[in-house]
Amino acid sequence: MQARMTNPAYVLSGAMKGIGTLYQAIGEGGLSQELAEIVGLRASQINGCGACVHGHTANLRKAGASDERIDAVSAWREAPWFTDAERAALQLTEAMTRLADRSHESVPDALWDEVADHFDEKELSALILTIGVTNMFNRINTTIKEPAGTTWG
């Protein structure tokens, strides 16, 4: 499988600079890399982005995440390998990613309160931006048919 075109983030010279700046800001939030990869994997699973599913899975393995945790991300509600904070983050990920599926507000107050109980404002900011950036890349990659196994950087 081959992508339809070069990833737009590489085609437009200012895009990677802006994305790099955004990732640098996210890094200032203090969110653990493993949690960022877990929520990235979940959003990518929902959006059907093979390139990002592959990338987040590989990054989780490199970070030392167990196979049980990685394999269970799509079924996190029924799996014992996630903390309450991770569960709140995964629930927020699903709410932010499934906007078209909603019949109520995208992030209800009860969910917001639960997530805010586990993360301070900087961590919460990093979490929200991580989910948002992942959804952006999922949309780009599925549009251009970026294949799984693609590496960047």
Return the domain boundaries, the chain.
33-144
DSSP 69-90: HHHHGGGGGG-SS--HHHHHHH
Which pLDDT does position 152 carry in this prediction? 61
> Both tokens of residue 44?
């990518």
**CATH classification for the domain delimited by 33-144, as one of 3.40.30.10, 3.30.1600.10, 1.20.1290.10, 3.40.640.10:** 1.20.1290.10
Predicted structure pTM score: 0.95
Instruction: Name, in order, each residue with C-beta under 8 angstroms of 67's C-beta and a sequence gap of 6 or more.
Output: none
Nearest-5° Cα angle at 151, 1 to 129: 110
Nearest residue to 74 (alpha-carbon basis) of 94, 60, 50, 98: 94
Question: What would the pLDDT profile of 143-153 be if each residue is shown by its tens digit?
Answer: 999 999 877 65
**Helix crossing, 109-118 with 121-144: angle to 10°?**
110
Question: What would the pLDDT profile of 78-127 be if each residue is shown by its tens digit?
Answer: 999 999 999 999 999 999 999 988 778 899 999 999 999 999 999 999 99
